Structure 1
Amino acid sequence: MLGQTTTHSPISAGAAGASSSRSYAWLVFALSFGLLLSDYMSRQVLNAVFPLLKVEWSLSDTELGALGGIVALMVGLLTFPLSILADRWGRVRSLILMAALWSLATLGCALANNFGQMFMARLCVGIGEAAYGSVGIAVVLSVFPRHLRASLSSAFIAGGAFGSVLGMAAGGALSAHFGWRWAFAGMAIFGLVLVGFYRLFITEPRLQAQRRALGEEPDSAARRESVSLRPLLSALFSARSILCAYVGSALQLLVMGALLTWMPSFLARYYGMATDRAGVTAAAFVLAGGVGMVLCGALTDWAARHAPGRKWLMAVAYSVTCCALLLTAFHLPAGTAQLVLIGAGMLFVGGTAGPASAAVANLTHPAIHATAFATLTLANNLLGLAPGPFVTGLIADRIGLLGALQLIPLAGVLAALCFLVGRRTYMADLLRLENQREADPNKANKA
């Protein structure tokens, strides 16, 4: 009726606010996930154009391997300091700057005229990507309820495999139709468009408001406790089993990094595939690696649900199985049987990631889990993903790419030995950690 005042029910208003809050959280996830895709597309597109660069610039396999490994090296070296800077300077501002840098550096790859210019552009790609994984997932998890964080973490991390697949497949297609420069330019344009959307929709005040809506206090650098260095280093490196987890995980990822980088070249050289077909086929192998990583993690949790120590044996089994399959595959003549065995090996090549991560989590106090996983990431990059492409190229220059790929899987044997050694002291190290918590819980919390 005329003259009446319309009022809104507090319940309906609250429901509308909750719906808006959920929508914004998923917007944050979507844009952050999109930038993660851009991250790995920009990183892996190089692999699809290796054959074209090798011919045009007369590059050695060592030089090609250096172009692939420099990104992982920068990620390994700079993850810690850039993550700390992002926490202090502002995560959203840092993410925008990171994504803009790797996108512009990828555009620089498209404009490069020689190996030196390409190497510097790839180095800048690595600097831009260095802390995106750790900072990006922190932003995503900050806007969702706690009960969703485990599944969101898995989904976010899986974006790396999907981005690698898209980068290699799209890069191969673009280079085949428009030339290798447009493969890099396409990745750069995609990243810059996402940067624009991220800058438009994601802001620190809205993230803080989202945290308040979840009933959690907004982040504050002033509230963060300082951690003394000596107890932290002791917690991260004093147990033999955690050192074995770091090194074993990295050695197995050396095999994965080598295959991710060199599969398009292998398919082009030994199967005569054009760059577009080689890129798509290699992307299928990468996808198998991502799916296998998820399946192996689930299988490990099921097998070790009543006996945590079995996770180490599962890691050993994955490493040995992967090594056996890949060694057999690369000693076969080119053909369907070889490709099938390579695909089977790829299902296990990243299988140790789950057991290694679980071991690191169990062997460190929850208060330092973020630092512990950053340490694992550091080991994975510096000892695995960075040297894998370079070492493979170095060997390939001497005995051919096929010969190099026949040797690289042997790193899985060393990984298996590390996991076996770690298993011997795992239970004792767990008991020591529990005793330390019971003896001095305050000290444990500060560590």
Structure 2
Amino acid sequence: MLDASGSVAHLVSRRYARCVALTVVALAMTDYIDRQIVVSTFPYLKKAWGLSDTALGALVTTVSVAIAVFALPAARLADRWGRVRTIAAMGSAWSLAALACAVSGNYAQLFAARSLLGVGEAGYGPAGAALLSGYFPQRLRATVLSVFQAAGPLGSVLGVVLGGVMAGNLGWRVTLGAFGVPGLLLALAFLKVRDYRAPAVSRADGAGTAASDAASDAGEGLTEDQTRSGRPALAATVRELFRSRTAVWCYLGGALNLVVLSTFYTWLPSYLGRAYGLSSAQAGMRAALFILAGFVGAILFGHLADRCAAGRPRRRLMIPAVLAAGAWGLLFTAFGVLGPGGGQYALIVVAGLPVAAALGTAPAAVIDVVHPSVRATAVGMATLVQNLFGLAVGPLLTGLLSDAFGLQTALAVMPLFCLAAAAAFRLGSRSYEKDFAAVSGGGPEPVAPGTHERELST
């Protein structure tokens, strides 16, 4: 069970919590490697099958669409069936789909395999975020989730860099399937991780209710009768997900921000190859610096948001708002004012820092303003919105603009979404403190000392 702060941290050692976090991050890295490595094969797929930029972008977009479609069902499964089991199942599914990509015989088969990869990845983010939010205290939540979300940029770096080298030396088939086996092994290792049980939401008013100590076979700690009477019904869950204006603005702001992030993670290697005359491996290495800057920015600014929120909680969302606006200025100058050269490339790399600032802070704010028993579902809603209106939009829309006006023009236009994201986070910050107080004020009672063996499933 969670304590009054929404954390199970006092029930496990700090070392155990950190080991779980490292395992969660490691599996997330394979997730993003499998998702992103395809962009390094674009030149080879374009040559082999005569594909347009729109068709290539669709290979990235279909993953995001699949994640969006299955995010809520998978997240609800995590809340009901257990976070650990969901992580193991989802990790195994996307790893097998990555292996299927390697044996695709044509574009349609590759597109289908990429779609299945997205289905597998749909539940991992919500389940992983919910698991970590229970293992660490609320005061560290943005920092911990920023580290978790930073696995995306880091995995993308590895996908782009290793993909560029491997595609040139081993071929695109081996490249697409290379990380399927490591991901499968990490997913199965999660079957040894302890899960925790969250208090239920009252169907009447959404307030926390004390759950009994009986452990269920699903690892959620509720009996069948308690499941029927204590768990939030679908209608109550939906009301809880949209009760908070802060959560709604975070859903939207995170999506708008990811339009830009997905655009540059997908198309920057191709732009550098075309505009600077670089090989696939060289373009991957250059693009990796932008993505690596995002990895640093996600952690750095997530921690900054936590520090600033200690004095005034609403600053947790003001930090990504300001940084999103700054990212637009840097990227527009790089592609709308400057041309290929050292100055442009320097601005691109610097822009990688603020453009990823909301990766951890947005989901952390969502988790802060919803009841603990629907955390995974809330992150699932964020995942749905962010993938359907963010990650799915960027690669495909950029491909369409590139086919019509050229890739540099497309990359100059797409950062406008950063300004919209900044506005959404600013609006969310206005209701954050009130929404957070409403949830924390009705939290569950603390767990009595010495009950950890009953509260953690094995």
The normalised TM-score by structure 1 is 0.80
CA distance in structure 2 between the partners assigned to 1:133 and 1:79 by the alignment:
9
Q: Secondary structure at the residue paired with 2:98?
A: helix
Paired residue type of 2:160: M
Q: Give the C-alpha shift of residue 344 in structure 1.
A: 1.2
Q: Secondary structure at the residue paired with 1:49?
A: helix
Residue in structure 1 matching 2:194, options 187, 192, 207: 207
Cα 1:431–1:282 change in 2 (3 A) is closer
Q: Give the C-alpha shift of residue 84 in structure 1.
A: 3.2
2:41 corresponds to 1:75: no
Instruction: Tell me what 1:102 maps to.
Output: 94
Cα 1:311–1:161 change in 2 (3 A) is same
Instruction: Tell me what 1:268 maps to.
Output: 273
RMSD: 3.5
Q: Secondary structure at the residue paired with 2:194?
A: helix
Instruction: Tell me what 2:153 maps to.
Output: 161
2:411 corresponds to 1:405: yes
CA distance in structure 1 between the partners assigned to 2:410 and 2:170 by the alignment:
31
CA distance in structure 2 between the partners assigned to 1:208 and 1:412 by the alignment:
37
Paired residue type of 2:158: L
Cα 1:128–1:361 change in 2 (3 A) is closer
Cα 1:343–1:130 change in 2 (3 A) is same
Contact 2:85–2:190 (8 Å) recurs in 1: no
Structure 2's unaligned 5+ residue stretches are: 1-11, 197-212, 445-458
Q: Give the C-alpha shift of residue 437 in structure 1.
A: 8.6
CA distance in structure 2 between the partners assigned to 1:287 and 1:113 by the alignment:
33
Contact 1:88–1:221 (8 Å) recurs in 2: no
Q: Give the C-alpha shift of residue 280 in structure 1.
A: 2.1
Instruction: Tell me what 1:47 maps to.
Output: 39
CA distance in structure 2 between the partners assigned to 1:361 and 1:31 by the alignment:
21
CA distance in structure 1 between the partners assigned to 2:324 and 2:13 by the alignment:
44
Cα 1:360–1:37 change in 2 (3 A) is closer
CA distance in structure 1 between the partners assigned to 2:303 and 2:140 by the alignment:
17
CA distance in structure 2 between the partners assigned to 1:26 and 1:433 by the alignment:
26
CA distance in structure 1 between the partners assigned to 2:434 and 2:410 by the alignment:
43
Which has more radius of gyration? 1
Paired residue type of 1:220: G
Contact 1:51–1:268 (8 Å) recurs in 2: no
Paired residue type of 1:349: V
Cα 1:118–1:242 change in 2 (3 A) is same
CA distance in structure 2 between the partners assigned to 1:116 and 1:185 by the alignment:
17
CA distance in structure 2 between the partners assigned to 1:135 and 1:236 by the alignment:
16
Cα 1:227–1:292 change in 2 (3 A) is same
After TM superposition, list the pairs within 5 Å mapping 1:231-242 onto structure 2: 231-242=236-247
Instruction: Tell me what 2:5 maps to.
Output: none
Contact 2:368–2:436 (8 Å) recurs in 1: no
Instruction: Tell me what 1:119 maps to.
Output: 111
Paired residue type of 1:38: T
Paired residue type of 2:306: D
CA distance in structure 2 between the partners assigned to 1:294 and 1:248 by the alignment:
18
Instruction: Tell me what 2:206 maps to.
Output: none
After TM superposition, list the pairs within 5 Å mapping 1:375-386 onto structure 2: 375-386=381-392
Bigger fraction of residues in helix: 1
Deviates more, 1:269-278 or 1:78-87: 78-87
Instruction: Tell me what 2:221 maps to.
Output: 220
Paired residue type of 2:97: A
Q: Give the C-alpha shift of residue 371 in structure 1.
A: 3.2
Q: Give the C-alpha shift of residue 417 in structure 1.
A: 2.8
CA distance in structure 1 between the partners assigned to 2:84 and 2:40 by the alignment:
31
Contact 1:268–1:275 (8 Å) recurs in 2: yes
Instruction: Tell me what 1:291 maps to.
Output: 296
Deviation string, structure 1 residues 323-381 (Cα, Å, up to 9, x no partner)? 01000001311111111101111111122345534543454344544433332222211
Paired residue type of 1:251: L
Paired residue type of 1:410: L
The normalised TM-score by structure 2 is 0.78
Contact 2:17–2:136 (8 Å) recurs in 1: no
Residue in structure 2 matching 1:302, options 307, 311, 322: 307
Q: Give the C-alpha shift of residue 69 in structure 1.
A: 1.1
Q: Give the C-alpha shift of residue 27 in structure 1.
A: 6.2
Instruction: Tell me what 1:277 maps to.
Output: 282
Q: Give the C-alpha shift of residue 58 in structure 1.
A: 1.2
Contact 2:151–2:295 (8 Å) recurs in 1: no
Paired residue type of 2:319: M
CA distance in structure 2 between the partners assigned to 1:140 and 1:244 by the alignment:
23
Percent of aligned pairs sharing the same letter = 37
Instruction: Tell me what 1:62 maps to.
Output: 54
Instruction: Tell me what 2:180 maps to.
Output: 188
Cα 1:149–1:349 change in 2 (3 A) is closer
Contact 1:256–1:349 (8 Å) recurs in 2: yes
Residue in structure 2 matching 1:315, options 314, 317, 320: 320
Count of equivalent residues: 409
CA distance in structure 2 between the partners assigned to 1:248 and 1:272 by the alignment:
35
Contact 2:321–2:426 (8 Å) recurs in 1: yes
Residue in structure 1 matching 2:354, options 344, 348, 355: 348
CA distance in structure 2 between the partners assigned to 1:301 and 1:91 by the alignment:
25
Contact 1:167–1:187 (8 Å) recurs in 2: no
Paired residue type of 2:153: A
Q: Give the C-alpha shift of residue 202 in structure 1.
A: 5.1
2:250 corresponds to 1:245: yes
More relative contact order in 1 or in 2 (CA 8 Å, sep 6+)?
2
